[in-house]
Amino acid sequence: MHPEKSVEFSRRTWLRGAASVGALAAVSAVGSRASAAADGAQLKKGAVILFQGDSITDAGRNKKAVEANDIKGLGRGYPVMISGGILGQHPEKEFKCFNRGISGHKVPDLAKRWQGDTVDLKPDILSILIGVNDIWHKMAGRYNGTVDDYETGYRNLITRSQKDIPGVRIVICEPFVLRIGAVKDSWFPEFDQRRAVAKKVANEFKLTFVPFQTMFNQALQSASPQFWAGDGVHPTGAGHALMAATWREAVGL
Domain boundaries, the chain: 11-251
Q: What is the pLDDT of residues 127-176, one digit of tens each?
A: 999 999 888 888 878 888 999 999 999 999 999 999 999 999 999 999 99
- Global confidence as pTM: 0.86
Q: What is the pLDDT of residues 176-220, one digit of tens each?
A: 999 999 999 999 999 999 999 999 999 999 999 999 999 999 999
Per-residue confidence (pLDDT) for residue 142, from 0 to 100: 85
DSSP helix/strand/coil, 123? coil
Which of 27-31, 134-138, 144-148, 236-240 has the weakest average pLDDT?
27-31
Measure the CA–CA gap between 102 and 239, rounded to whole angstroms.
19
Give me the amino acid identity at 116: G
Nearest alpha-carbon partner for 171 in 223, 108, 246: 246
Residues in the chain: 253
Distances from the Cα of 221 to the Cα of 86, 106, 192, angstroms: 29, 30, 20
Per-residue confidence (pLDDT) for residue 38, from 0 to 100: 52
Measure the CA–CA gap between 35 and 7, rounded to whole angstroms.
34
Q: What is the pLDDT of residues 59-117, one digit of tens each?
A: 999 999 999 999 999 999 999 999 999 999 999 999 999 999 999 999 999 999 999 99
Instruction: For domain 11-251, give its CATH number from 3.30.70.600, 3.50.50.60, 3.30.360.10, 3.40.50.1110.
Output: 3.40.50.1110
Nearest alpha-carbon partner for 229 in 155, 160, 165, 179: 179
SS3 for 134-189 is HHHHHHCCCCCCCHHHHHHHHHHHHHHHHHHCCCCEEEEECCCCCCCCCCCHHHCC
